[in-house]
Chains A and B, each alone.
Chain A
Amino acid sequence: MKKTFLRSKVMLYSCAIALLLVFQGRALDTDPLTLVQTIEMPNVPTFPYADHLGVDVKGHRLFAAMQGAKSEVVIDINAAKVIHNIQLQDPHSVVYRSDLDRIYVTDGDPTEPGVKVFDGHDYHLIKSIKLQQRTDSAAYDPKSKYFYVVNGGEAAKQNYSLISVVDTTSMESLGDIKIPGETLEQLELEASGPRLYVTIEEKSEIAVVDREKRALLETWPITKGKVPAAIALDEANHRLFVGCRTTDMHGHIVVFDTTTGKEIDALPIGGHVDQMFFDPASKRIYASDGVGVDVYQEQDPDHYALLGKADTGLMSKTGLLVPELHRYFAAVPHIGSQAAKILVFQTQ
């Protein structure tokens, strides 16, 4: 009797330990981001923001808009160190063209707002393309090689903003798309069609634009979140993800059906989101939210599960997913005792 009891007790404990190990193993397997490297940027003064990142995959360079240092910082990813500082008053977005070895940076400099084009070899300024005040977010179309750049609005004392179409080959502004909003935030381009989606922050709306016709098609109201600041797209499944700063400490990814313009879900994230990515291969959404990176798994177009949240730093609201390198880079600003840095995560 005693033996049987003892045996069953041993069995019970063994099962419990086995289950624990299985769950632990599963937890380790599913951790979506693993910090593999920290690249310090020692000469960046205290400033609450660090803006968007760009990459030169072949040349293993990362470009970081470190607004505290008034510079676009060039980092050698392999050596994990800063190799150059391109001086700019107020850098925001960046794209690198490997065929021309040129770097295009949007600069909110109030005295000379616009897109600044730099030589990727020696970093000299090739051209400054003048735009309106608050030249900020931008999206690059690799087919047309056009750079769509947000500018104007309240900062230009207008009740509308512009999306300027900059041809990165001729380095000329080809025209503008007028959007009825005082503060545009991020934009996203459809690859299979002419649509462009841009968030209108003060109205909590999405503007849908035909970029071929350069015309506003319609606007969609956001009701499941507020203050839309970031955007990502799952074209295959017709889903648009809009990152909202709903309150100071809490935000949402509002999921839209792009065929109907209707909201279908709101996924909780942190409060200061500024950048989002959707990776079609893994069907994962990444949101840099001001203190971490939230990773959601798209189970099907109507169902999403939070896989995990990687800690970053205070006001670390921008990042860059580079699927070719299996990396997610997070920009951390210098605030008090928190040093400016790039956190390099391995994506799983």
Chain B
Amino acid sequence: MNSSHDVATGMKRQGGKWTKAWLAVILFSMAHAMAQIAQPMKLIQTIELPEGPTFPFAGDLAVDIKGNRLFAATQGTKSVTVVDLQRGAIIHTFPVEYAHTVMYMGDLDQLYVTDQGTAEPGLKIFDARDYHLIKIVKLLARADAAEYDPQSKYFYVDNGGAAAKLDYSLLTIVDTTKSDVVGEIKIPSKTLEQLVLEHSGPRIYVNLEDKDEVALLDRSRRTFLEAWPITQGKRNTAIALDEKHHRLFVACRTGDLHGDVAVFDTQTGKQINALPIGGHVDDLDFDPASGRLYASCGSGEIDVYQQRDADHYNLLAKTETGIMARSGLLVPELHKYFSSVPHIGTQSAKILVFQIQ
């Protein structure tokens, strides 16, 4: 009796061990699978750019989805580089002294490039078929960030301020159909940074870096409405909008190695949250489909936040890039994120291509 009882208990114990082992295996597999799912970005390609002198910045990126082309403002080589995305090869470079924003106009097959160079500053319009310069739209000094409104086909571009020895800046409106200036909005700031357009209404939000404020503009009336102070965060540069939930995301370079994304309620103009990110942020993208926010930071990381609801955000991951790789571009149609890495010392200039999950 005793022995059979012992055997039965032993079996039971052994069975318990097996159950535990299986449970451990299942839990490990689940954790592994979750880690795989939770990783929001995966490096799938590295496109090396032509060798040039060391330069701490790389400018903006743009994509021609139909033509499989990527355009990169490669400031170190004083050029714009054109990459064939299918082959991962450079197909053309053309000179631009100090290119900042690059935007591809698909309907016109043209490239709009803001140039802060001293020789011919302003907005340069290139034919994207043979890359010849079509026109230079003269602007004040420091033509920098810009945004495009696909409804009106107007291009809004920052210029002026301290670099033009003025205590105000301009948001100049260029009609892309006529390739000409049709107006401007005067803004009380010495340093404008990035802007974002509301699609369901006439609002423009633009960063006033020198004041730690966000300006609210009415683009149909071409007027400055008001400015909202940033209460947590400093030196706001990048910006993104979640129109559905009335949330504005303002990325700040608060410290040299640490920054914040200030979350605003666009209905009240009040900051409701601050999400920690890396330093030297220069691009911020919000993807409404996934509710994810991508902050490209020059400290060498892309910080990805998941929006749980309008007031709650979780950091999903920090994806490594390179030092001063602060320009990034989310292209949801391609399920890709492109990051531009400048040549600094032993770090070569390159484009990192990530698959977004």
The interface of chain A, by Cβ under 8 A from chain B, is 46-49, 201, 227, 229, 245, 248-249, 271-272, 290-292, 311-315, 317, 332, 335-338
Contact = CB atoms under 8 A, between A and B. Distances in A.
Interface of B: 54-57, 235, 237, 253, 256-258, 279-280, 298-300, 320-324, 341, 344-347
A249 B323 contact: yes
A201 B346 CA distance: 10
Given A314-B298, A337-B280, 18 more contacts: A46-B56, A48-B324, A201-B346, A248-B300, A249-B323, A271-B323, A272-B347, A291-B300, A311-B257, A312-B256, A312-B257, A314-B257, A314-B323, A315-B323, A332-B256, A335-B56, A335-B324, A338-B280
Contact of A272 (B57, B321, B341, B345): B345
B104 to A, nearest CB: 25
Nearest to A274: B345
A249 B322 contact: yes
B257 A315 contact: no
Contacts of B237: 337
Contact of A245 (B56, B324, B346): B346
Contact of A248 (B257, B258, B298, B347): B347
Contacts of A227: 346
Contacts of B345: 48-49, 245, 272, 317
A270 to B, nearest CB: 9
Nearest to B350: A248
B56 A249 contact: no
Contacts of A291: 257, 299-300, 323
A291 B346 CA distance: 15
20 contacts: A48-B56, A48-B344, A201-B346, A245-B345, A245-B346, A249-B323, A272-B323, A272-B347, A291-B299, A311-B257, A313-B257, A314-B257, A315-B323, A335-B324, A336-B57, A336-B253, A336-B298, A337-B237, A338-B256, A338-B280
B41 to A, nearest CB: 15
Contacts of B322: 248-249
A46 B54 CA distance: 12
B236 to A, nearest CB: 11
Given A46-B56, A249-B322, A314-B323, A337 B235 contact: yes
